[in-house]
Amino acid sequence: EPEVTQTPSHQVTQMGQEVILRCVPISNHLYFYWYRQILGQKVEFLVSFYNNEISEKSEIFDDQFSVERPDGSNFTLKIRSTKLEDSAMYFCASTLMQGVDQPQHFGDGTRLSIL
């Protein structure tokens, strides 16, 4: 069964540094998402992306964050000038279409640790 893959599985970065989290969505999917889960808290929506542009973003997704689909397969989340509170699991997800009856398929996540 096709799956969403994320790399790296664990990223350790010094505070203030930039980090890029990578995702390869399911190949025929058109909608892409990033979520984060701070330890012990709920999964939080960050951003959705379709047709090479952001379609929705949450309050969390401020100017520190950006997303990109640099080629036909990768979908990246960039965090500039990382802060301690950015430490979390970051999940990428994709769906074939938008709307009802379109569950999101998640990757296994990247654990980001900011030191």
Partner 1 sequence: DQQVKQNSPSLSVQEGRISILNCDYTNSMFDYFLWYKKYPAEGPTFLISISSIKDKNEDGRFTVFLNKSAKHLSLHIVPSQPGDSAVYFCAAKDTGNQFYFGTGTSLTVIP
Residues that bind partner 1 (CB under 8 A): 4, 6, 31, 33, 35, 41-45, 48, 55-56, 58, 91, 93, 98-109
Beta bridge partner(s), residue 35: 45, 91
Q: Which is nearer to partner 1, 13 or 44 (CB)?
A: 44
Contacts of residue 92, defined as CB under 8 A and 6 or more positions apart, other chains included, come to 4, 6, 21, 23, 25, 32, 33, 34, 35, 75, 77, 106, 107, 109
CB of 106 to partner 1, least distance (A): 4
* Three-class DSSP category at 84: helix
Least distance CB 19 / partner 1 (angstroms): 19
Decide whether 5 or 64 has the Cβ nearer to partner 1. 5
